[in-house]
């Protein structure tokens, strides 16, 4: 956008567009309807704190970065028009590193993970990151 400041509703719309997500995808991720999420982008409703946290995690931003009136970091624009999942595949193809399950537990985990909806996959990913962090501190 060309203005120096973005409202939260404008920022949510731009972030969604940059990442290639649909309103339905974000609604599913937040466990609300597409229409419910659309109200956030139109400025008709303001997300509660839990929803802001979920959105910050989704876009890999701090809550401050999400809610302040500053522009979206240009690095996000440079990554467009690919979605997060497409970027991961592109990055893997560039580095030629393909992650393969190394044992039956990983294979079972991956098979079950792929059958879950995106919002639950992201919850699990955040939990795994948290557990890894806690494990490193021990």
| Shared domain check, 75 and 20 | yes
Range of the domain at 127: 104-137
Share of the chain above pLDDT 70, in %: 72
Is 36 within a domain? yes
| Shared domain check, 74 and 108 | no
| Shared domain check, 82 and 110 | no
Number of domains the chain is built from: 2
Share of the chain above pLDDT 90, in %: 26
The tens digit of pLDDT for each residue in 28-54 reads 989 999 999 999 999 999 999 989 988
CA distance 91 to 25: 22
């Amino acid at each position: 956008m060309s203005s120096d400041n973005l409202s939260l509703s404008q920022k949510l719309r731009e972030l969604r567009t940059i990442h290639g997500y649909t309103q339905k995808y974000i609604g599913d991720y937040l466990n609300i309807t597409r229409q419910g999420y659309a109200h956030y982008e139109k400025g008709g409703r303001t997300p509660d704190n839990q929803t802001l946290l979920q959105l910050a995690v989704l876009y890999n931003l701090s809550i401050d970065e999400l809610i302040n009136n500053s522009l979206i970091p240009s690095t996000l624009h440079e990554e467009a028009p690919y979605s997060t999942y497409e970027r991961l595949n592109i990055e893997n193809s560039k580095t030629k590193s393909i992650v393969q399950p190394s044992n039956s537990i990983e294979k079972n985990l991956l098979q079950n993970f792929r059958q879950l909806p995106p919002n639950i996959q992201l919850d699990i990913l955040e939990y795994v990151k948290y557990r890894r962090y806690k494990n490193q501190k021990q």
